[in-house]
Homo-oligomer: A and B are copies of this chain.
Amino acid sequence: MGLSRIGVIFFLLPCAFYCIPPHDEAAKVARFVAHKCDWASMSTISTHDPVKGQPFANVFSVSDGPKGKGTGVPYMYLTAMEISVQDLQVNPTASLAMSLAQTKYCKKHSYDPQSPLCVHIILSGSVVKVNDTEASFAKQSLFSRHPEMVDWPSDHGWFFAKMNITQVWVLDYFGGIKTVTPEQYFSAEPFSTTTDFE
């Protein structure tokens, strides 16, 4: 093998590990972003005065699996003391927005946060408590990426939850928002993300 061929392989290889999937593979892109982002903005319908019935945005740490082992399922560590979680107890439908603006990616490429090139995804669905079997994986997923969680106040009644996804929306290129079904999303093989670009 000539040196030039080795050069080409080394030039191409890194993208197998950390580059964003091609924009015509929206399901893969969604899985990539869902794994890259450590937090999300969650939208709920508020149950609190003076904004009862209005949409309410808030910030939550998420993890879809330990680094390099993303499942696509956004896990969260919640307490009923939290204002948005109280909304979910009345109406569990919610939406999670995650953007590569949360990483170094968009700044590095000078992509404005609102540009579709600064890739962002939206997950729609319901947020539910996970059962005991799944709680172990949820814990591993969250605590490995949010080590501070282990020390959160024990009297707050923390529990593990996840979003049951009903629809995925992807903004990763010009031409409008794309939709991805949960089936397409979960069957997509995300690129390995062992190398960080946060």
Residue positions of A touching B, CB distance < 8 A: 38-46, 50-51, 54-61, 77, 81, 83, 93-97, 99, 101-102, 110-115, 120, 122, 124, 146, 148-149, 166-167, 169, 171, 176-177
Residue pair A113, B43 in contact (C-beta under 8 Å): no
Shortest Cβ distance from A51 into B: residue = B124
Query: Which residues on B sit within 8 Å (CB–CB) of A54?
Result: 45, 93-95, 124
> Among the interface residues A43, A46, A77, A95, which one has the most CB atoms of the partner chain B within 10 A?
A43
By the criterion CB–CB under 8 Å, are B148 and A95 in contact? Answer: no
- A-B pairs, 7 with minimum CB distance: A41-B41, A43-B43, A39-B113, A57-B97, A43-B57, A43-B55, A61-B114
Residue contact A114 to B146, C-beta cutoff 8 Å: yes
Contact of A59 among B39, B59, B114, B176 (CB under 8 A): B114
Residues in B with CB closer than 8 Å to A94 are 54-55
Judging by beta carbons under 8 Å apart, are A95 and B59 in contact? Answer: no
